[in-house]
């Protein structure tokens, strides 16, 4: 596969070589169109490039500095709807003007495809104002709009009940819309599955500007928007989510080991225990190349196991004492707390009463770093020789680290076809490749991007095959890009089969039925079937 940076660069240069519509002309046409929709003619939601707030609005939810440069393609307009009717009118007007509409609901977008485009003219529909959350403890559900953050969702749930939670991600500044529509996993997945496994209803604006719920959209479309990335089928405005029970006390711990402290033995046993232990226990492993604490000037590998257990410390220590003695967990390694306090702990590592749950309401705007992420799935435990080779490679490559996220439990009980997300039984754990840097410029970016690619190539023998699967919410343009030419379906298969396995084909059928002209599209969207000539 050609180097993806050069692929995207050449596509952008080609598209920009023709004269795109000016921001002013698109603004005038868009405002004129909005004025034909009586309930949606609020022109304050339309921000052109010459508006003083354009740059700050665009940057507010950019979390990857790679896409916050002077040369990054910019939208001609940013739309900031505050009502559902604004969203409906935005879709109809963008469609009428023939301009691409990108949908952003949180900004934790590893490849920037919600606010960057390879097309010559595009608009960003930014959902951050649509953030209402309505918790119903009576039927254990919540309606959450797409622009709400996970932190806001968790906090609002905790205000109504200390014994209800929602199984979603760890980072509180992630947007609900993107997180849920792309799968949505977190530390409750072994007990309750993914966020998409707990979606009861949704509101979506389709290509014709209609606001549809589960009943009116039909089960095929409802199936498709639970894990395929909603931007392929319409604009998801809100989700109705099932809340799940949690005990008064949950227990967390963080234990670190270096190679000199039996780290290899710990990871060997972790692969056997983590996917098969009590469903209420989730143990994530961080693997990082670091400087040796005992041998000056030498490198080593440090592993950190971060865990959450739905129960008290005594029971947790008893379980792992029998199943995982290599870890040597002691009660003093553990912290007992409420579920909402554990959300704060996962975010900043603080003990109860140090950081208050109200901190989850902080959207942390304009906070970005340079980063790259990739993903893999492991279906057979990696041998001791394999792990030792991996440690050596990590130290050779440089800064890139790995995160092992265990599956099993509820994940193994849900059918691969229940939702577009297919990575269920048979997967022991998911790998995230993670690297960050703070030096601007193409030279630094290429160095760190190459680190991840070298490590990804090295891991080929240890991970899933035919296809080599990937996780959609760890978006990775290295595995394929759709340039929307006549081969858009074949291009879509390249990444689509990795993200969705055979569910890709059903997604294509739904796409062809609801959006045959491919209005809702991005560089890794679901393509419609090719037209018959």
Give me the pLDDT at residue 120, please: 87
Is residue 401 domain-shared with residue 293, that is, in the same domain? yes
Q: State the pLDDT at residue 350.
A: 81
The two structure tokens encoding residue 512: 């062809």
Return the structure tokens found at 370. 């340079």
pTM, two decimals, is 0.94
* Structural domain contains residue 201: yes
Instruction: Examine residue 451 and state whether it is found in any structural domain, yes or no.
Output: yes
Distance of CA 300 to the CA centre of its chain: 30
Question: 404 in a domain, yes or no?
Answer: yes
**CATH number (domain holding residue 63):** 3.30.43.10
* Any domain includes 474: no
Q: Are residues 34 and 115 in the same domain?
A: yes
**Same-domain status, 95 and 172:** no
Q: Report how far residue 43's alpha carbon sits from residue 24's, in angstroms, rounded to the nearest whole number.
A: 14
The verdict on 142 and 163 lying in the same domain is yes
CB atoms within 10 A of CB 186: 23
Domain boundary among 437, 462, 487: 462
Quote the pLDDT of residue 7. Answer: 40
Last residue of a domain, one of 214, 245, 276: 245
* Residues 294 and 208 occupy one common structural domain: no
What is the structure's pLDDT at 199?
98
Which residues are CB-contacts of 235 (< 8 A; sequence separation ≥ 6)? 87, 90, 91, 103, 125, 127, 146, 204, 205, 520
Kindly give, in sequence order, each residue whose CB lies less than 8 Å from that of residue 79, ignoring residues fewer than 6 positions away.
Answer: 45, 46, 47, 86, 90, 123, 124, 125, 126
Structure tokens at 523: 């560089």
Query: In the chain, which stretches have pLDDT less than 70?
Result: 1-24, 533
Task: List, by residue number, the catalytic residues.
Answer: 474
Residues 208 and 258 in one domain: no
Q: Are residues 38 and 146 in the same domain?
A: no
In a domain, 354, yes or no: no
Q: Are residues 36 and 180 in the same domain?
A: no
Interstrand relation of 401-406 and 429-437 (parallel, antiparallel or unpaired) = antiparallel
Angle between helical axes of 150-160 and 339-348 (0-180°, round to 10): 160
End residue of a domain, out of 245, 262, 292: 245
Element (H, E) at 305: strand 299-309
Total structural domains within the chain: 3
Residue 449: CATH number of its domain: 3.40.462.20
CATH of the domain at 226: 3.30.465.10
Domain range for 162 = 133-245
Region of 117 (left: φ > 0; alpha: ψ -120 to 50; beta: rest) is beta
298 and 199 share one domain: no
In a domain, 203, yes or no: yes
- Same domain, yes or no: 288 and 396: yes
Q: How far apart are CA 266 and CA 404, in angstroms?
A: 13
Looking at the fold, whether 87 and 158 belong to one and the same domain comes out as: no
Residue 239 CA: distances (Å) to CA of 267, 279, 370: 38, 26, 31
So what's the pLDDT on residue 16?
Answer: 38
Q: Answer for the pair 491, 480: CB distance below 8 angstroms, yes or no.
A: yes
Instruction: Please give the structure tokens belonging to residue 305.
Output: 């196991």
Q: Report the C-alpha gap between 194 and 186 in whole angstroms.
A: 7
- Are 325 and 203 in a shared domain? no
| pLDDT at residue 21 in the model | 56
Return d(Cα 412, Cα 193) in angstroms, integer. Answer: 9
Residue 432: inside a domain, yes or no? yes
Question: In the numeric block, which tokens belong to residue 507?
Answer: 């997604």
Structure token digits, residue 126: 């930014």
User: Taking a C-beta distance cutoff of 8 angstroms, is the pair 340, 308 a contact?
Assistant: no
* pLDDT at position 485: 79
């Amino acid at each position: 596969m050609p180097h993806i940076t050069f692929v995207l660069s050449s596509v952008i240069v080609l598209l920009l070589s023709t004269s795109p519509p000016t921001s002013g002309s698109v603004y005038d046409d868009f405002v004129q169109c909005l004025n034909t929709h009586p309930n949606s003619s609020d022109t304050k939601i339309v921000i052109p490039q010459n508006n003083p707030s354009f740059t700050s609005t665009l940057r507010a939810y950019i979390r990857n500095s790679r896409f916050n440069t002077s040369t990054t393609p910019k939208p001609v307009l940013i739309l900031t709807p505050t009502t559902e009717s604004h969203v409906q009118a935005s879709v109809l007007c963008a469609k009428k003007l023939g301009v691409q509409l990108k949908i952003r609901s949180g900004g934790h977008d590893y490849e920037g495809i919600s606010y960057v485009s390879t097309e010559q003219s595009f608009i960003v529909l930014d959902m951050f104002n649509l953030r209402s959350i309505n918790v119903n403890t009576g039927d254990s559900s919540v309606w959450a709009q797409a622009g709400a953050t996970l932190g806001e969702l968790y906090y609002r749930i905790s205000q109504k009940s200390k014994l209800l939670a929602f199984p979603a991600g760890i980072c509180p500044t992630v947007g609900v819309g993107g997180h849920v529509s792309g799968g949505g996993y977190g530390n409750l997945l072994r007990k309750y599955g993914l966020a998409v496994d707990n979606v009861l209803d949704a509101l979506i604006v389709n290509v014709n500007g209609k606001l549809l719920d589960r009943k009116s959209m039909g089960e095929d479309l409802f199936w498709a928007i639970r894990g395929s990335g909603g931007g392929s089928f319409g604009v998801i405005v809100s989700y109705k989510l099932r809340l799940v029970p949690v005990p008064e006390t949950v227990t967390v711990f963080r234990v670190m080991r270096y190679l000199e402290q039996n780290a290899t033995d710990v990871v060997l046993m972790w692969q056997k225990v983590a996917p098969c232990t009590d469903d209420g226990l989730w143990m994530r492993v961080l693997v990082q190349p670091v400087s040796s604490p005992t041998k000056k000037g030498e490198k080593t590998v440090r592993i950190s196991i971060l865990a959450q257990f739905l129960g008290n410390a005594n029971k947790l220590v008893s379980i792992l004492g029998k199943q995982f003695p290599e870890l040597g967990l002691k009660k003093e390694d553990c912290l007992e707390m409420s579920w909402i306090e554990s959300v704060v702990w996962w975010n900043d590592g603080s003990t109860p009463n140090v950081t208050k749950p109200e901190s989850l309401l902080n959207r942390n705007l304009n906070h970005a770093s340079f980063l790259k992420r990739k993903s893999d799935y492991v279906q057979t435990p990696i041998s001791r020789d394999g792990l030792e080779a991996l440690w050596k490679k990590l130290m050779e490559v440089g800064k890139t680290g790995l995160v092992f996220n265990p599956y099993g439990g509820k994940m193994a009980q849900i059918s691969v076809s229940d939702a577009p997300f297919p990575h269920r039984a048979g997967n022991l754990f998911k790998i995230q490749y993670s690297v960050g840097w703070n030096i601007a410029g193409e030279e630094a970016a290429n160095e760190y991007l190459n680190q991840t690619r070298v490590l990804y190539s090295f891991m080929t023998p240890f991970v899933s095959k035919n296809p080599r699967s990937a996780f959609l919410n760890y978006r990775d343009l290295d595995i394929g890009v759709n340039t929307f030419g006549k081969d858009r379906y074949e291009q879509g298969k390249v990444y689509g089969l990795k993200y969705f396995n055979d569910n890709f084909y059903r997604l294509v059928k739904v796409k062809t039925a609801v959006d045959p002209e491919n209005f809702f599209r991005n560089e890794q969207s679901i393509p419609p079937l090719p037209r018959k000539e």
